[in-house]
Amino acid sequence: MSQRALWTSVVTAAGFFCLLSPASAAEDANGLKIIQPAIFEIAQGHGGKTTKNGGTHEQGVVTAFAKDGRQYVVTVYMSPDTDMPYWQCKCSSFELTEKGPKVVADNVQISFNEGGMRNCNRPAVAHDGQNVVWTYGSDYMDPNTTYIYAGVLNEQCGKVVPDMQISTTNNNDNGGTSMVFNGTVDGVSRFVATSFENGNGGIAWAYGLSLSYDEETGDPILKRDFEKKAYTGTNIARQKVAPIDNDRTLYCGPDGNQRPPERGVVCVVLDKTGNVIPGSRMTIAKTDKTQDIYYNQPTIAVLDYNRFAIQVLRSNGEGRKDNGKGSNNAELYIYEVSEDSQLILKSQMTNIETTFQTHSSICSGQYGAPGTSGQHATSIAMIAAPPTGVGQGMMQMLSWSPETDFMIDSRDEWIISEYADSGHQSNMYGANPNNQGRDFMNCIGNVPNPGYGVEGGFMPTVKTLFVAPMSGKKPDQAKNAQFLSFIPGASDAPLTTPADGPSGDGDPSGDGPDILAPDSLTEQAGACSVAAPRPSSNNDWAALGLLALGMFIGRRRNT
């Protein structure tokens, strides 16, 4: 076993849990800091039927913002663990403190829909610095139709605006929401949400949402400003959006009515009214059926200077033959959006060698030590999990600049969850078991760390964090649990991990970070909680302390 990093948790047979006080980070032989991600189990893998439509924890999304001088991280996810038929959506919120993440809302149920089998499906979240707008699909009004809904949550998962229907088509399914915040203009916060309709030949939809506040009461008011077609001819559009500026949104998704799509991946630029800006449409990854090359599932990360990293997954199309699963390889492009909304390709990288590329996704944020200019570079984080449900969640950091092009180092691959699953259980317990992609990865970067620069604080040499939801099955639980990971971002000095790197081999044998119980931080960051018989003597406490030391595991590197 290697040295322990900053934080660790201990669970004994007696049920005692403790988050050890932060200490100085361990160092490797070269004196580089070893800092471990902090992982919280926010929902256990229980609830619902263990049959088709029984549901599991999946589709976690996350956002972070500062309000009233406090930094919050809010995550929304699908959960089967309710008293209602089928799955619903839940929300958990953490306040980031100098001592670490502190739970302020624990597993709050935020959907109460009955009547369908997909009562709350594929949520999305975005914030305006005051509240969180969230969207999701649901068939509770009509088992044959999935409509799109939107609502507003506060920083403690309280519903401050009732959910409202924002899609109007009623002849087939809508689903797969995503959303971005485009800024606040004249006191009105603007968001763009998306979905797809697999009727009428397949339509990719964009919805404009505005959030304003009553001048007298301050109460939030949510309105739908538009419902526009981004493009047609796509009935399984796993689409994503990213903000360009206050008036423009980059929208990318599959182009085609087959799985994988027969034309590839297309991007358009939308104006503030939801219309496609003429000349902006571009096929960025074109399917070549003669070579068995198919492209699907774009994800977008915002870089500097109106540049965007766009990841697509390349498949051999084997799933077209038997509804099974073909191979997946990630490709990464850098595009710049000009003032007249043209997409200009700056660079591309194919055959990226990372662990688990199925359903992988990307986000961006500052990472590592500052460069020669004294500034931290914006990096691309690729997050992934095994589709088999056996293995660990991973995050690979990549960098890009016009001078260096892409740079990737396998030693910059972090284990961010001991248990991870990008589709096995969600297929097993979903509405369409074994023949549809289900769980999709998400992450965010540039989350300020209040523990930075604080003696004895949480990751005190780390200025910002990446945050990632993850689902995975623990051996003692029937279904996937829900986790939330806090990963080091911008730091004072290079980060490191042992030279052997992450195993990623499906054997959670103590090589990765420990999992923390959220109630350990409910009262006070860094506090301990006792869930079962407490030790009755000082000797017992000493024994537990020795056990804690004996359980020190760790590793993780980065530069």
Q: CB–CB of 233/239 below 8 Å?
A: no
* 184 CB-contact burial (10 Å; exposed 0-12 / middle 13-18 / buried 19+): middle
Q: Give the pLDDT score at 540.
A: 37
**Residue from 38, 501, 410, 437 nearest 254 by CA:** 437
Above 50 in pLDDT, residue 38?
yes
Both structure tokens of 205: 């939809």
Say how many CA atoms lie within 13 Å of 249 toward its Cβ: 29
Which of 22-31, 284-293, 313-322 is the most confident on average? 284-293
The residue-averaged pLDDT of 433-446 equals 78
The residue-averaged pLDDT of 407-430 equals 86
Above 70 in pLDDT, residue 133?
yes
Above 50 in pLDDT, residue 387?
yes
519 or 301: which carries more pLDDT confidence?
Answer: 301
Above 90 in pLDDT, residue 494?
no
Above 50 in pLDDT, residue 509?
no
Both structure tokens of 529: 């909680």
Q: Give the pLDDT score at 347.
A: 96
Both structure tokens of 173: 């399914």
Both structure tokens of 163: 């959910």
Comparing 137-141, 396-400, 523-527, the range with the smallest average pLDDT is 523-527
Q: Give the pLDDT score at 317.
A: 72
pTM, whole model, 2 decimals? 0.86
Q: Give the pLDDT score at 259.
A: 77
Q: CB–CB of 441/468 below 8 Å?
A: yes
Q: Give the pLDDT score at 391.
A: 86
Q: Give the pLDDT score at 429.
A: 87
User: Confidence class of residue 33 from pLDDT cuts 50, 70 and 90?
Assistant: low
pLDDT digits (tens, 9 = 90+) for 148-162: 999 999 999 999 999
